[in-house]
Structure 1
Amino acid sequence: MFKNEKGFTLIEMLVVLLIISVLLIITIPNIAQNNQMVRDKGCEALVKLAEAQVQAYYINEGGMPTLISDLETKGYITQTTCPNGESLTLTSEGKVTSTP
């Protein structure tokens, strides 16, 4: 009477769950590892942006900023901390670096 029932058996569902679990086990560590790389690349980009803003400050203000906070208070940059937690510092030559 019920010979034409269609659906998944318990074993088929377990196989599908096993495949999904294996895929998650493979991808989650890669995502966590790439997350740190993205933060580091974001810090490199922020350093380059800050160096460009030092030059803009020099052109507009007629002199080099003495502290990185000078760029922030005058609106040339919005943050002095990188996404990976490192702080931006300014050398006397106008070079911007990141320090942990």
Structure 2
Amino acid sequence: MKRGFTLLEMIIVVSVLAILFLLSVPNIQRVMKIVDEKGCAAQLKVIDSAILQYKLDTGQLPLRINDLVSAGLLTKQQTECSGGEQLEIREGQAYVR
């Protein structure tokens, strides 16, 4: 006698897996959004630190974020958040554009 799974058993297993997947997708999306927000906040702190270093080195505040890149204090990738939002400098502070 051959042993194996019946079609009904396979449908039940696939249905349970599909339900588990559908329940987990919103949680994963929420976590990814939180990670992006925290990452952008951390990037702003990095840029603020680079602004202070630039002021210590040159005696003046940078006018543009590219001034920090030119001075070697930031890389080009550090001028935007992980979500693609551009960052800018206004009055000596970093902001999301």
Q: TM-score range by the shorter chain?
A: 0.7 to 0.9
Tell me if 1:96 matches 2:94. Answer: yes
Which residue does the alignment assign to 1:7? 4
* Amino acid corresponding to residue 98 of structure 1 in structure 2: V
With 11-20 and 59-68 compared, the bigger mean Cα shift is at 59-68
RMSD of aligned C-alpha atoms? 1.6
1:85 is displaced (CA, Å) by 2.6
Distance in structure 1 (CA, Å) of the matches to 2:18 and 2:83: 30
The structure with the largest helix share of the pair is 2
SS state of the match for residue 79, structure 2? coil
Q: TM-score, normalised by structure 2?
A: 0.84
Moved over 4 A (4+): none
- Structure whose CA Rg is larger: 1
- Specify the code of the residue in structure 2 equivalent to 1:67: R
Equivalent pair of 1:36/1:84 in contact (CA under 8 Å): no
- Find the counterpart in structure 1 of residue 71 from structure 2: 74
Partner residue in 2 for 1:31:
28
For 1:40, which of 37, 41, 48 is the aligned residue? 37
- Number of corresponding residues: 95
Task: Give 5+ residue unaligned stretches, structure 1.
Answer: none
Unaligned segments of structure 2, at least 5 residues? none
Task: Give 1:48-87 correspondences, 5 Å limit.
Answer: 48-78=45-75, 79-87=78-86
